[in-house]
A and B are shown apart, each in its own frame.
Chain A
């Protein structure tokens, strides 16, 4: 039972490069989320998908796009990476309603 799996674990990009962060969950959860974690700022919501086929902006969506590929997978794309996007990115999922979030182990991204 893997839970929430994120790839890659680490990535270094140059300014202007693009990349996609992958996330998959095997718990048959309806909702999936992308957060970023920066020192002293907790977790901030980038985008979320309440159910397959829907996506919505969170608190800090600028510079990102998402795709809910199917019920299991929710990817986050940086089209043109900027140093301000250096962060640790967490994917999470939950069933629906007031159920707890399950987190992946994160992707540490550095943009130089």
Chain B
């Protein structure tokens, strides 16, 4: 079955690094995504990683993928108050039904 899990809450101080973790169960995932949701808004794609990669870096964002453990993480360097939001990981699978399965989201609170 499909199941994506995340911790619900993370609090960090401004300037520190944040690490948001995600585990998934379906080994046939093709892409794994990180989305950001600010209050009252839709989800905005932050970054994604193809399943045959183990790391992707994009400015302050680093995505690490451990396929063996089915573990995905998002590291935000030099976290800013504007990074406060809910972060969702999602997986897509190479099946007939093309739709993303989302985790329940991690609320990141950045303290000044």
Contact = CB atoms under 8 A, between A and B. Distances in A.
Interface of A: 4, 31, 33, 35, 40-45, 48, 50, 56, 58, 90, 92, 96-98, 100-106
A105 B40 CA distance: 7
B99 A43 contact: no
B88 interface: yes
A100 B88 contact: no
B92 A98 contact: yes
B15 to A, nearest CB: 29
Interface stretch (B42-50, B56-64, B66-74, B76-84): B42-50
Interface residues of B, number: 25
B24 interface: no
A42 B48 contact: no
Contacts of B43: 43, 90, 92, 101, 103
Contacts of B4: 42
